[in-house]
Amino acid sequence: MDAAEQEIFIEGHPCVVVDSVQMRYRVPSTAADEVDGEQAGPRFLRRAVRKPNMVTVHALNELSLVVERGESVGIIGRNGSGKSTLMKIICGQSKPTAGAVYASSTPIMLGVNAALVQDLSGDQNVILGCLAMGMSRAEVDAKFSSIVELSGLEKSIHLPMKSYSSGMSSRLRFAIAASVDPEILLVDEALNTGDAQFADRSKLRMAELREQAGCVFLVSHSLDTIKDMCTRAVWLDKGDLIMDGDPDGAIRAYQDFTRHLSKGNNISATKILDDAKAGLVATEVRGRSSRRSRG
C-alpha cells in the first residue's frame, strides 16, 4: 500500500458519509472559444440554428468525506469553489451527477426547512417555521422563549419580517433551525452578522448540538468564525478537495494561498495548492476512495 494511502474501516455510526460525489452541469456561454467539443462547428451555422453555446461546469470534482458525531466541519474556499454546492448535495436540495450521500437523519439546512413569510411577524414565523419542521404546537410553545432569546430579537419579534435587516432575518432562521435539536445542521454564511452577542450565543448553541451527538457543517468566509466554532476544516478550490483536517493548519495554508494570489504570485500560490493536496491521505470507505489530510 502506498505511503499516502491507508485503509480505514468505519466503526460506529457516522452522521454523514459523502461517497465519491461529483457535480457537473451545462450552462449557455457567449464565448465561442469555450464551446465543448461536441458543440464545435462553424460559427455562422450555430447562429443559423439559434442554438446557444453550451459549456460544462465542474462545480464539484470527486470528493469523499466521513463526518462523525460530535464534529463541527468548517468549509472554506474562494467564491466558486463548490462550498454551497456541497452543502446543497448533503442536505438533499441538489442531486449529484455521480456518487451518493448517506446520512443518519435528515440534514437541516439553515433557512431551507424554515418556510418563513415576510409579511408575518417574527413571532408568527417562529411558530410557522417550527411547525414546518415537524414540531407539535406544544413543543413550539415550550421552546418559543429560548428561540427568541437565541435570535436576540426580543424587541423586534412582534414586527413583520419584511422590516428586518438581512442579519436579523438570518439570526431568526438560525434560532428556528437550531431549536429542533437536529442531528445534522448545515449553516451557510448565516452567522456573519457582525453581532458579537449573537456570535457568542450561536457558538454556545453549536457546542450544545455537538455535545448532543450531532454534527454541524458551517460555510463561512469569516476564518475567525471557522476557528472558533469548528473542530475540523475542509478547504475546497475550483471543485477540488485541497485539505481536510485541523482548522488552524487548513486556515493557515488557505491564508498563505490567498495572500500570494493577491500579490500576483501565481506560481507560489499553485505550489501551496499542490503541497496541500500532496498531504492528503487516501482512505478506503466502503470500497470507495476518500481523501483526508495527514494529521
187, three cell numbers: 449553516
Instruction: Indicate whether 47 pLDDT > 60.
Output: no
Q: Is 33 helix (H, G, I), strand (E, B) or coil?
A: helix
E-state strands within the chain: 5-7, 16-29, 53-67, 72-76, 98-103, 108-109, 184-188, 215-219, 232-237, 240-245, 280-285, 288-293
115, three cell numbers: 418556510
101 and 78 in a common domain: yes
131 and 51 in a common domain: no
Give the range of the structural domain holding residue 171, as residue numbers without chain letter: 112-181
176 and 186 in a common domain: no
- Using pLDDT thresholds of 50, 70 and 90, give the confidence band for residue 7: very low
Question: Which pLDDT value is given to residue 289?
Answer: 42
pLDDT digits (tens, 9 = 90+) for 275-287: 998 887 765 555 4
207 and 101 in a common domain: yes
- Using pLDDT thresholds of 50, 70 and 90, give the confidence band for residue 112: very low
Helices (H) and strands (E) in the chain, counts: 9, 12
Dist CA 261 CA 187 (whole Å): 28
154 and 249 in a common domain: no
Question: Which pLDDT value is given to residue 163?
Answer: 94
pLDDT digits (tens, 9 = 90+) for 188-218: 765 555 567 777 888 788 777 777 768 889 8
278 and 232 in a common domain: yes
pLDDT digits (tens, 9 = 90+) for 220-274: 888 988 988 899 999 999 999 999 999 999 999 999 999 999 999 999 999 999 9
Question: Which pLDDT value is given to residue 40?
Answer: 52
Mean pLDDT computed over every residue of the chain: 81
CB-neighbour burial class of residue 40 (10 A; exposed 0-12, middle 13-18, buried 19+): exposed
Q: Which of 165, 181, 197 is the last residue of a domain?
A: 181
Question: Which pLDDT value is given to residue 290?
Answer: 47
Question: Which pLDDT value is given to residue 3?
Answer: 34
pTM of the model: 0.75
Dihedral angle over CA of 85, 289, 7, 275, nearest 10: -70
Question: Which pLDDT value is given to residue 177?
Answer: 82
Q: Which of 152, 181, 210 is the last residue of a domain?
A: 181
The CATH number that applies at residue 255 is: 3.40.50.300
174 and 217 in a common domain: no
184, three cell numbers: 445534522
- Using pLDDT thresholds of 50, 70 and 90, give the confidence band for residue 34: very low
For the chain, the C-alpha Rg in angstroms (whole number) is 21
- Map grid coordinates 465561442 to a residue: 32
Instruction: Indicate whether 135 pLDDT > 70.
Output: yes
Dist CA 295 CA 292 (whole Å): 9
261 and 121 in a common domain: no
Pairing mode, strands 232-237 and 215-219: unpaired
Q: Number of structural domains, the chain? A: 2
Q: Which of 181, 204, 222 is the last residue of a domain?
A: 181
Instruction: Indicate whether 104 pLDDT > 60.
Output: yes
Dist CA 132 CA 112 (whole Å): 10
